[in-house]
Amino acid sequence: MPDYKAPVRDIQFTLYDVLEAEQHYQRIGAEEASRDLVEAIITEGGKFAEEVLAPLNQVGDKVGCKFEDGVVTTPPGFKEAYTQYVAGGWPSLAGDPAFGGQGLPESLSVVFDEMISTANWSWEMYPGLSHGAKLTLAAYGSDQQKQIYLSKLTSGKWTGTMCLTESHCGTDLGLLKTRASPQADGSYHIEGTKIFISAGDHDMAQNIVHIVLARLPDAPGGTKGISLFIVPKLHATTLESNNVLCGSIEHKMGIHGNATCVLNFDKAQGFLIGPPNEGLRCMFTFMNFARLGTALQGMAAAEQSYQGALSYARDRLAMRALPGPKFPEQPADPIIVHPDVRRMLLTQRSIAEGGRALIYFCALQADIVRASNSSEEERQEAEGLMNILTPIAKAFLTETGYEAANLGVQVFGGHGYIAEWGMEQIVRDTRISMLYEGTTGIQSLDLLGRKVLADRGKMLRYWTRVIHRFCRDNENRKLREFIRPLRRHYREWGGFTRKIGLKAMRNREEVGAASVDYLMYSGYVTLAYFWAKIADAAYRAIDAGAEDKTYYQGKIKTARFYYKKILPRAKYHKEVMMSGAKSLMDIDVEEF
């Protein structure tokens, strides 16, 4: 398995130089998030990821989870690592102090999550899903529910899950059949079966708090008749069984270290969260967090695969450089000298580092939304940015992260196909990221249909205004090579969006036909903005007399690579999306 090294300097560069997090924390009143504290979190979190979690990654893949007599056992070392995680106070970083949390900004939790996700994605999913459960309870739970559950989830003593999917319905939750019957004490009996529940059962924590979608007896059909419930595995007070039983665990392509469970709710006691029949709206708090977490998986795959491929390319000798030997003292040159290997490495690097900036930016918007001193205008803009960027980040970064993982195998050649190197595990583990929390197709429909066209482009303008201001403020600087193409792309973005909207008024199939290419175009332009920001930060550091100019010049040159070799893909997606629905929909079902 590739040795994971936390990219501490790149994380600091992205936070402080590119996104100016120090000023951000001051603006939102988070004085406790001093630079010294943040750097301590990054350093110590990196050590935990490198020394504790990374060595368990291949163990989790080879051994997997065990299911015997209704009991799930995680791979060797997983439970002990979780005990260290809790003892270190990591689950409580961004938690509410009223429930034992440290009260730090959400963005710092995301920085820590990046490192543990890259080191061991299967392990990270156990505590990772708990975070979404906490946010959902904090937003919609009653005072009593918060008192019972939030302190345990914040400390890490208990973990949480999200239970949506049933065997007959995945994305179309309007078809779900799980029932909730009211009881005299105000609780509900939950009956039904949920499948594909990540971290649905395990031996790492004392209890598991399931956040479950179900129907009340008098609920209307479809998505308007879904309610949200807290259903603990064990009763919160007695820790006795609550009739939430694991029926089996799935045998999967990857993420073998995480138990993906079939859960049977046999008159389990549940408690309503939020208003009746508005469960889907409430669940979106959890789902949006999970989608950004999945975007992180795509970025982490690119980072992990890049680290492995880069190390191998520096050492592996094969052939000579085309102009002549670069290392004449050796029998052959290292493969990093060859243009195609560099193409693969730089593609991985541009996805990982650009993706990091996008995800951290989204996390900073979440800070603004939750900050008590944010104005209503600031909060509205931050929410608008998160709404438009969440589907882009989730779908684009998982698609390109999977591409980066495959490129890592390609750099290794035949060795990449062999399990002992660990590169093919990254591919297998990452493949799920394009499926769960809404497939690429679903995210694309959400972006184009529900977010952009539904409000006539208002939400999109939150984002294009950010790009516009950056281009305007840097028009006459060294960034001209980036500003000109970036300005051209964001201007045409609005133009063809209007054209698709007009076509959709005549034929609604036009939205579905254009949506995936629309999202991918959006992703490439969005990452172009962040690479221009990265280049700007690097130029500023050099102008300020930074000692290590090589580091910053590497950022500028990677930005050039992205603009010359990756951004042109946007043109392809534009042409495809504007070609219309006819070639897709003309063929009859019988003609397939």
So where are the chain's domains? Answer: 282-437, 445-584
Asked if 161 and 209 count as a contact pair (C-beta separation under 8 A), the reply is yes
Taking the C-alpha atoms of residue 459 and residue 384, their distance in angstroms, rounded to an integer, is 6
CATH for 282-437, among 1.10.3720.10, 3.30.1280.10, 3.90.110.10, 1.20.140.10? 1.20.140.10
Taking the C-alpha atoms of residue 27 and residue 13, their distance in angstroms, rounded to an integer, is 19
Closest CA to 353 of 17, 10, 582: 10
Asked if 380 and 328 count as a contact pair (C-beta separation under 8 A), the reply is no
Taking the C-alpha atoms of residue 478 and residue 546, their distance in angstroms, rounded to an integer, is 17
Backbone angles phi, psi at 480, to 5 degrees: -55, -35
| Annotation marks residue 437 as catalytic | yes
SS3 408: helix
HSE (CB half, 13 Å, CA atoms) of 480? 3
- Quote the pLDDT of residue 524: 98
For residue 476, what pLDDT band results from cuts at 50, 70 and 90? Answer: confident
DSSP state of 112: H
DSSP state of 4: P
Taking the C-alpha atoms of residue 13 and residue 3, their distance in angstroms, rounded to an integer, is 22
Taking the C-alpha atoms of residue 94 and residue 363, their distance in angstroms, rounded to an integer, is 12
Asked if 28 and 105 count as a contact pair (C-beta separation under 8 A), the reply is yes
- Quote the pLDDT of residue 288: 82
Taking the C-alpha atoms of residue 61 and residue 412, their distance in angstroms, rounded to an integer, is 20
DSSP state of 132: H
For residue 453, what pLDDT band results from cuts at 50, 70 and 90? Answer: very high
- Quote the pLDDT of residue 171: 82
Instruction: Please determine, for residue 489, whether its predicted confidence score (pLDDT) is greater than 90.
Output: yes
Question: Could you tell me the two tokens for 421?
Answer: 């190197």
% of the chain exceeding 70 in pLDDT: 100
Q: 458-473 and 480-506 are packed helices; what angle lies between their axes, rounded to 10 degrees?
A: 160
- Quote the pLDDT of residue 436: 92
- Quote the pLDDT of residue 360: 98
DSSP lists the bridge partners of residue 162 as 211
- Tell me how many helices (H) and strands (E) the chain has: 19, 9
Q: 480-506 and 509-543 are packed helices; what angle lies between their axes, rounded to 10 degrees?
A: 170
Asked if 246 and 219 count as a contact pair (C-beta separation under 8 A), the reply is no
pLDDT digits (tens, 9 = 90+) for 47-84: 999 999 999 999 999 999 999 999 999 999 999 999 99
Read off the pLDDT of each residue in 495-519 and give the average, rounded to a whole number.
Answer: 96
Closest CA to 263 of 340, 184, 197: 197
Backbone angles phi, psi at 489, to 5 degrees: -70, -45
| Residue keyed to tokens 């050492």 | 315
Write the single-letter amino acid at 340.
Answer: D
User: What average pLDDT does the structure give for the chain?
Assistant: 96
pLDDT digits (tens, 9 = 90+) for 520-570: 999 999 999 999 999 999 999 999 999 999 999 999 999 999 999 999 999
- Cβ-based burial of 377 (10 A; exposed 0-12, middle 13-18, buried ≥19): exposed
Q: What angle do CA 281, 282, 283 make, to 5 degrees?
A: 90
Active-site entry in 106, 437, 509, 590: 437
Backbone angles phi, psi at 322, to 5 degrees: -60, -40
Taking the C-alpha atoms of residue 226 and residue 561, their distance in angstroms, rounded to an integer, is 48
Q: Could you give the C-alpha distances from 391 to 164, 287, 507, 518, in angstroms and in order?
A: 19, 11, 24, 12
Q: What angle do CA 197, 140, 262 make, to 5 degrees?
A: 10
pLDDT digits (tens, 9 = 90+) for 111-126: 999 999 999 999 999 9
Candidate from 27-36, 363-372, 395-404, 469-478 with smallest mean pLDDT = 469-478
| Residue keyed to tokens 């172009």 | 528
Taking the C-alpha atoms of residue 323 and residue 325, their distance in angstroms, rounded to an integer, is 7
Instruction: Please determine, for residue 446, whether its predicted confidence score (pLDDT) is greater than 90.
Output: yes
- Quote the pLDDT of residue 394: 98
Taking the C-alpha atoms of residue 503 and residue 524, their distance in angstroms, rounded to an integer, is 24
Cβ atoms < 10 Å from Cβ of 89:
14
For residue 170, what pLDDT band results from cuts at 50, 70 and 90? Answer: confident
For residue 427, what pLDDT band results from cuts at 50, 70 and 90? Answer: very high
